[in-house]
A and B are shown apart, each in its own frame.
Chain A
Amino acid sequence: MSSDAHANARTPEEVVQYKDKMERDIYAAISKPNWKFWAALALAVTCVGIGAVSWATQIIRGLGVTGLMNPVGWGVYITDFVFWVGIAHSGTLISAILYLFRAKFRSRFNRAAEAMTIFAVLTAGLFPLIHLGRVWLFYWLLPYPNQRYLWVNFRSPLVWDVFAVSTYLTVSAVFWYVGLIPDLAIARRIKSGIQKKIYGIASLGWTGTFKEWQHYNQLYKFLAALATPLVLSVHSVVSWDFAMAVVYGWHTTIFAPYFVAGAIFSGCAMVITLMVPIRNIFSLEEYITIDDFEKLAKLLMFTGLVVSYAYMIELALAYYSGNVYEQQQFEYRLFGDYAWAYWTMILCNVISPLTLFYRPARRSLMFLWILSIPINIGMWFERFNIIVISLAKDFDPYAFGYYTPSIVEWGITIGSFGWFFMYFLIFTKTLPVLSVTELKEEVEH
């Protein structure tokens, strides 16, 4: 921990040198990849292949190749959907909300977190398609004019989803790209040949004049303000897929904040999962410090507590409701056939983040990284529990049933991870993983 980006005691020459070093260090990643990168990319692409074959099987034979059944009509696919939408969350939280709150540590994570957001939404967006019985008619979910006067049903939360997710994807992508423009201009300056041309086109002729900066900052602030409500709205809308239904375990008013907190929780965990290796591999220790990670860890701890609170409230509401369906639903979650999934979730999401109360744990990157994995798993199970267990035991005892995911569903889930990491790997080799301009600004101030 010699010098760090927060230090201000530099002479103007030192500042210039430091900025140059920063550019070199960060843009060093954008270079010819070594075999390790290719191996990682090959693994990701293989996973995508597994997912593609699985999906093809499902399209050809029908959804019967999944484990879905009566009464559980939604399973791993919708779980994956909510999981990836959740992952997508903290990107915008870190870049937009923390930007408005002037939280400095966000500049270490925002670029990667936003990239993660976009890739995660791209992944999540596949699942509503994958889970359709007749995916070849997916466009019927979009409101488009047609001579049959057929329109979508705006009462359906699934239609709200279509809008929420596509809006989120658009705004996130624009926000990310706008933030990238000055950095792309740096790349144009540093790189040569075809790369220079590509970065040149992508940087939209950015020259860095005062006027440009003025407009740029206004736009960026505006976009941050626009993205902020989306952080809350997208996952609220996703939660209404469930909360609007009559199924006990779904039908509850706490779902919107509960889901948003869970999303941020899982998103932070995913940022840690991604940034610890990036910092290490690309030798960015100088720019992303332990302090920064500690702040992220605190956010993780806080949202973990919110989520734990939501779990307790759910149980308390069921207990207090006097409603036999709801009570039996939660009893079933705790002690029924799916108890293994419920207690996995509790262990991962409630117990494990408590270790972060211990300061050395928050400051150990190794520990944080290891901890982020069970939290990711736990948050996947949270969605699985809500979706599957609620359906498995709803109203009519005759119709109770147990769902077991099939190999095709796991194949597609693996494929979704491959899909996400494939994009992310390409991102690390083509774009600066830190916001260089923002780091430079910090050096100035």
Chain B
Amino acid sequence: MKRRDFLKFVGMASSASILASCGVEKSSEKIIPYLVPPDVEDYIPGEAMYRNTVCTECSAGCGATAKIIEWNPIKLDGQAGHPLNDGALCMRGQASLVRLYHPNRLSNPRIRKGGALEDVSWDEAIKFVRDGLSKANSSGKKSVYLAGQTTGSLSTLLDSFASQSGVERLPAYEAFSHANLRRANSILFNINDIPGYKIDESDYLLSVGADLIETFLNPVSNSQQIYKARKGGHFTWVHVEPAISLTGYKADERKTVKPGGESSLLLFLLNYMVSNGLGKNALSSNLRDGLPSISMGQAASATGLSEDDLNHMAQAFAQAKHPLLIVGGSATSQDGGLSTAVLAGMIQWVSGMIGTTVDFNNAEGMNNVGSLLDIKNLADRLNGNQIGVAFIARTNPLATVPASMKLAESLGNAAMRVVMTDFDSELTEMADVILPLSNGMESWGDVAASTAVTSVMKPVVSKLYDTLSEGDILMKLMGQAEDYGTWLQSQWKDVLGVSDVDALIKKGYADTGYSAGNITMNANAAQSFVSGNKLTGAAAAGGVLYAVPSIRAFDGRSTDIPLTTEIPDPLSTVSYGNYVSVSEAANVGEVNPILKDYPVVSVEGKGASMELPAFVQPHMPENVATIQFHQLDKSMLTMDSNTGELITRVDGASVNATGRTTKLSALAGGFDQQHRQLIPKPGDHHHEGEFEIGQTLYPEIKYETYRWGMHIDLESCTGCEACVAACYIENNIPVTGEDQHLMGREMSWIRIQPYYNEDGTMDSLVMMCQQCGTAPCENVCPVYATYHNDEGLNVMVYNRCVGTRYCHNNCPYKVRRFNYFDWTDEGAWAEPMTRMLNPDVYVRPKGVMEKCTFCLHRIRSGKDFAKDENRDVRDGEIQVACQQACPTNAITFGNLKDKNSEVYKKSQMDKNFKVLELLGTNPAITYSTKANKEEHA
């Protein structure tokens, strides 16, 4: 063949094949989806959509906004303007996005056949359950339905399911049911509920035991209100607690009370008011006379508080115009907790809080929540073989009830166990039917955030797996063809009186309004309680161990989310592993935080014992220890046999050194400032004038339009870690796990550093990249992978980084994070977690350095919007992720070049400081603290 012929043939053949491949098969035309679906008005490919939903991590019912890019929710934030949590979401709420995408989520119904669980279709599973129900009915056994706190339309549906199917709906189960508080309120005010506390309207807040910032009712709302009250001025917050909590440190004054001494304190306060004729409401003379008296001396010895403190507290409380007393947490979940709660209720009545700062119109809506008494009752009935089908939905009592109840054994006696949940647990191990629940974001639903507000939700993402929402399951079990969403919309029209459902969904919540009526104290009931009960108990003798609900896991439910364990506890900085916090006086052995060596102790109490590492908690009172509730051996838990309250105070607990040490992943290498003046204390400025700060060899940098800066108000910061969780999710930061944490390889870009002071206070220093004006990291990078941009940002070009780690070494703040592994390869983004990744942020490969750049992608996007309108970015237009998450607005971000911006004004305050300013790094972040304010006052 000639060359020319060959070329001809080749040309022919290739053009023929190209032409042939241009044809369109008829069938393939149909499968091209719409680029822009006609029914979604605000969809722009690649741009974010925002949809309101409800955070379902706990039953508080906070409004949430999902940021959705390409149909995947990639971030959850608080819904701006929501009456409960205006724009903020707690750390667990932020992290709950992971629940949606977690690879271990239950993905299809399973039923137990011949001892083994097997995957089945929904129809089979529903049939199986209905068969079980009818079998139980015919054998005369009662079927029961136990769920976590259930409100709103689901509660209505559940009632109709119960009546239709002959299933008994049990009172809802919550480990922290506040049974004593509710009982006290029902004795005194005839309301079995917990009121809303209007902290923002009070001028003197006395909280006893209630961990307002960590887990008490709605910590986000509490924090926001405290912030508001503080901004209003004339607000004092005294927190009284027997142990150590974040809440205590963040109060204006933290008072340590002897375990069990809370009731004496309250009795003293009540007596003080009554005997001095203070307060708005007088007690009946019978009640007044029946009230046991307590002298200042007696009160002092019972509470361990000094007479000065008591006097001061009583006077301040009595003089306050709008005092507020909140009692809860450790104060009520102990023996005698009911008396404490009743005394608190009486004080609230006498001082006129009821109807003002204590608001039953906007109550928690916990009246259908039961207590451990109901669980005990259930266990007895199970043991008596009276129970047919046991439905357990959205709760795992096995993990939280006292071990002495032997609930797991009892549950084995049910004819059938139907578990509705989203993750495997000890409960699913013994289940006969596992019905996987859809995530809140995949479901229709509504949640009563309070008696006055109902949050509503519509699916914001299509289902990832073959799951159903609880409402849909109930509809199916009832044999209804209608789906839950349709039914729900008609409910909203009928019950909430909403005409425009779409508008409601857009708004995210409905103000239902509620009136509890005119509340007066039932003096007779109060008097009979006072005369029939011992109001004050003796303080506990010997060692006391408190099981406290954790800010990261609450009652343990959030441990399903790896991120909540990855983020360290704000007090101990422990991420992974169980531990007990003990006092220095316990003398359990040497701690070396740099080596992460912690002494192993044996904790004994109530006949059980645990061996675990001890964190020596500064300022912890002698003989007191705390453990996070979900880490406690449940054998040490007991129940108040009268009210069914969970007793989390373990009396007679002993903490003994074993002489051994172990590695504990406490991330801090030190727990005090070691005279390093990171947060300057009054009188610390002795270097002033000795150094000229800000001198540099390099030419001065000129910023044209923007110099991005930040101000962090440490006085407002509660150390709640919400910003940390937000940052993790916003910036695709991998979860690295316990082994890496023990090696010191956490990846967090922002962290809360606790520094304990000798005067009994603690400072939480929020540490992230300081975006230095003269950054030590920049000039050492050999390849310009990190450089200073013309907007004052210390930017990081991941693609250019070769990984010398010099920048990390030279960063005095140690905020740079190196990718020691390819975390994707290591399983950090196991499918379908990749759908959670923020497409605006690069997922960093192994071998490169990363760090905070003030959410550069958000700045970029904000500038793009401004450019479209041919203007500069307006103040407040760009919110960075940590700022957005902060419930107390402690973080302000903006343009320092703009003299009218909030951040500029805040950066000019006298009480400001910059961390390690002496190094001449010229950070773009300024901080302010209370300590400095006092100094300048």
Q: Which residues from chain A sit less than 8 Å from chain B, CB to CB? A: 61-64, 66-74, 131-134, 137-138, 140-141, 150-153, 155-159, 162, 241, 244-247, 324-325, 328, 336-337, 391-403
Q: Are B806 and A133 in contact (CB under 8 A)?
A: no
Question: Which residue of B668, B698, B780, B916 is within 8 Å of A398 (Cβ)?
Answer: B668
Q: Size band of the B side of the interface?
A: 35 or more
Q: Are B813 and A396 in contact (CB under 8 A)?
A: yes
Interface string of B337-381 (1 = CB under 8 A from A): 000000000000000000000000000000000000000000000
How far does the alpha carbon of A336 sit from the alpha carbon of B802 in the complex, in Å? Answer: 33
How far does the alpha carbon of A343 sit from the alpha carbon of B817 in the complex, in Å? Answer: 32
Chain A residue with Cβ nearest B776: A246
How far does the alpha carbon of A260 sit from the alpha carbon of B134 in the complex, in Å? Answer: 90
Question: Which residue of B672, B673, B781 is within 8 Å of A153 (Cβ)?
Answer: B781
CB contacts under 8 Å to A, within B573-592, are 573, 592
Q: Are A245 and B846 in contact (CB under 8 A)?
A: no
Known: A133-B819, A244-B780. Contact between A392 and B802, CB under 8 A? no
Q: Are A73 and B782 in contact (CB under 8 A)?
A: no
Q: Are A156 and B806 in contact (CB under 8 A)?
A: yes
How far does the alpha carbon of A131 sit from the alpha carbon of B753 in the complex, in Å? Answer: 30
15 new A-B pairs (CB below 8 Å) besides A395-B678, A396-B676, A396-B813?
A69-B820, A73-B818, A74-B806, A132-B802, A132-B803, A132-B804, A134-B848, A150-B783, A152-B783, A158-B780, A246-B810, A247-B809, A394-B814, A395-B916, A402-B594
Q: Are A397 and B780 in contact (CB under 8 A)?
A: no
Q: Are B847 and A159 in contact (CB under 8 A)?
A: no
Q: Are B821 and A61 in contact (CB under 8 A)?
A: yes
Q: Are A71 and B814 in contact (CB under 8 A)?
A: yes
Q: Verify if B822 is at the interface (C-beta below 8 Å from A).
A: yes
Q: Are A156 and B812 in contact (CB under 8 A)?
A: no
Q: How far is the CB of A427 from chain B (nearest CB, A)?
A: 32
Q: Verify if B746 is at the interface (C-beta below 8 Å from A).
A: yes
Q: Are B745 and A395 in contact (CB under 8 A)?
A: no
CB contacts under 8 Å to A, within B672-709, are 672-678, 698
Determine the chain B residues whose CB is within 8 A of the CB of A401 once the complex forms. Answer: 594, 669, 744
Instruction: State the majority secondary structure of interface residues on A.
Output: loop
Q: How far is the CB of B525 from chain A (nearest CB, A)?
A: 52
Question: Which residue of B596, B674, B743, B802 is within 8 Å of A134 (Cβ)?
Answer: B802
Question: Which residue of B670, B740, B802, B806 is within 8 Å of A397 (Cβ)?
Answer: B670
Q: Verify if B874 is at the interface (C-beta below 8 Å from A).
A: no
Determine the chain B residues whose CB is within 8 A of the CB of A325 once the complex forms. Answer: 676
Q: Are B814 and A399 in contact (CB under 8 A)?
A: yes
How far does the alpha carbon of A392 sit from the alpha carbon of B765 in the complex, in Å? Answer: 20
Q: Verify if B671 is at the interface (C-beta below 8 Å from A).
A: yes
Q: Are A140 and B802 in contact (CB under 8 A)?
A: yes
4 closest A-B pairs by beta carbon, nearest first, are: A133-B803, A400-B669, A397-B670, A133-B847
Q: How far is the CB of B741 from chain A (nearest CB, A)?
A: 10
Known: A73-B818, A133-B848. Contact between A399 and B780, CB under 8 A? no
Q: Are B783 and A141 in contact (CB under 8 A)?
A: yes
Known: A158-B782, A159-B782. Contact between A396 and B805, CB under 8 A? no
Chain B residue with Cβ nearest A397: B670
Q: How far is the CB of B676 from chain A (nearest CB, A)?
A: 6
Chain B residue with Cβ nearest A71: B814
Chain A residue with Cβ nearest B739: A64
Question: Which residue of A62, A69, A403 is within 8 Å of B846 (Cβ)?
Answer: A62
A-B contact pairs, 6 of them (CB 8 A): A70-B808, A71-B814, A134-B847, A324-B675, A393-B594, A398-B767
Number of A-B contacts defined by CB within 8 Å: 187
Q: Are A156 and B669 in contact (CB under 8 A)?
A: no
Q: Verify if B784 is at the interface (C-beta below 8 Å from A).
A: yes
How far does the alpha carbon of A74 sit from the alpha carbon of B821 in the complex, in Å? Answer: 16
CB contacts under 8 Å to A, within B804-857, are 804-806, 808-810, 812-814, 817-822, 845-849
Determine the chain A residues whose CB is within 8 A of the CB of B190 once the complex forms. Answer: none
How far does the alpha carbon of A90 sit from the alpha carbon of B755 in the complex, in Å? Answer: 49
Q: Are A398 and B753 in contact (CB under 8 A)?
A: yes
Q: Verify if B667 is at the interface (C-beta below 8 Å from A).
A: yes
Known: A137-B802, A156-B781. Contact between A395 and B674, CB under 8 A? no
Determine the chain B residues whose CB is within 8 A of the CB of A132 once the complex forms. Answer: 802-804, 847
Q: How far is the CB of B883 from chain A (nearest CB, A)?
A: 22
Q: Verify if B595 is at the interface (C-beta below 8 Å from A).
A: yes
How far does the alpha carbon of A427 sit from the alpha carbon of B164 in the complex, in Å? Answer: 95
How far does the alpha carbon of A391 sit from the alpha carbon of B746 in the complex, in Å? Answer: 17
Determine the chain A residues whose CB is within 8 A of the CB of B669 once the complex forms. Answer: 71, 393, 397-401
Known: A153-B782, A155-B779. Contact between A69 and B743, CB under 8 A? yes
Chain A residue with Cβ nearest B676: A324
How far does the alpha carbon of A35 sit from the alpha carbon of B667 in the complex, in Å? Answer: 55
Chain A residue with Cβ nearest B809: A73
How far does the alpha carbon of A137 sit from the alpha carbon of B678 in the complex, in Å? Answer: 38
Determine the chain B residues whose CB is within 8 A of the CB of A392 once the complex forms. Answer: 594
Q: Are B676 and A397 in contact (CB under 8 A)?
A: yes
How far does the alpha carbon of A244 sit from the alpha carbon of B806 in the complex, in Å? Answer: 11
Q: Are B670 and A398 in contact (CB under 8 A)?
A: yes
Question: Which residue of A69, A70, A324, A337 is within 8 Å of B595 (Cβ)?
Answer: A337
Q: Verify if B135 is at the interface (C-beta below 8 Å from A).
A: no
CB contacts under 8 Å to A, within B113-136, are none
Q: How far is the CB of A186 from chain B (nearest CB, A)?
A: 45
Known: A70-B814, A153-B783, A245-B810. Contact between A63 and B803, CB under 8 A? yes
Q: Are B813 and A156 in contact (CB under 8 A)?
A: no
Q: Are B812 and A396 in contact (CB under 8 A)?
A: yes
Q: How far is the CB of B301 from chain A (nearest CB, A)?
A: 39
Q: Are B812 and A394 in contact (CB under 8 A)?
A: yes
Q: Are B595 and A133 in contact (CB under 8 A)?
A: no
Q: Are B594 and A151 in contact (CB under 8 A)?
A: no
Determine the chain B residues whose CB is within 8 A of the CB of A152 once the complex forms. Answer: 782-784
Q: Are B779 and A67 in contact (CB under 8 A)?
A: no
Q: Are A395 and B676 in contact (CB under 8 A)?
A: yes
Determine the chain B residues whose CB is within 8 A of the CB of A131 once the complex forms. Answer: 804-805
Question: Which residue of B678, B743, B802 is within 8 Å of A396 (Cβ)?
Answer: B678
Question: Which residue of B678, B744, B810 is within 8 Å of A70 (Cβ)?
Answer: B744
Determine the chain A residues whose CB is within 8 A of the CB of B784 once the complex forms. Answer: 150-153
How far does the alpha carbon of A70 sit from the alpha carbon of B744 in the complex, in Å? Answer: 5
Q: Are B810 and A247 in contact (CB under 8 A)?
A: yes
Q: Are B847 and A63 in contact (CB under 8 A)?
A: yes
Determine the chain B residues whose CB is within 8 A of the CB of A337 once the complex forms. Answer: 592, 594-595
Q: How far is the CB of A138 from chain B (nearest CB, A)?
A: 7
Q: How far is the CB of B747 from chain A (nearest CB, A)?
A: 9
How far does the alpha carbon of A150 sit from the alpha carbon of B821 in the complex, in Å? Answer: 27
Q: Verify if B800 is at the interface (C-beta below 8 Å from A).
A: yes
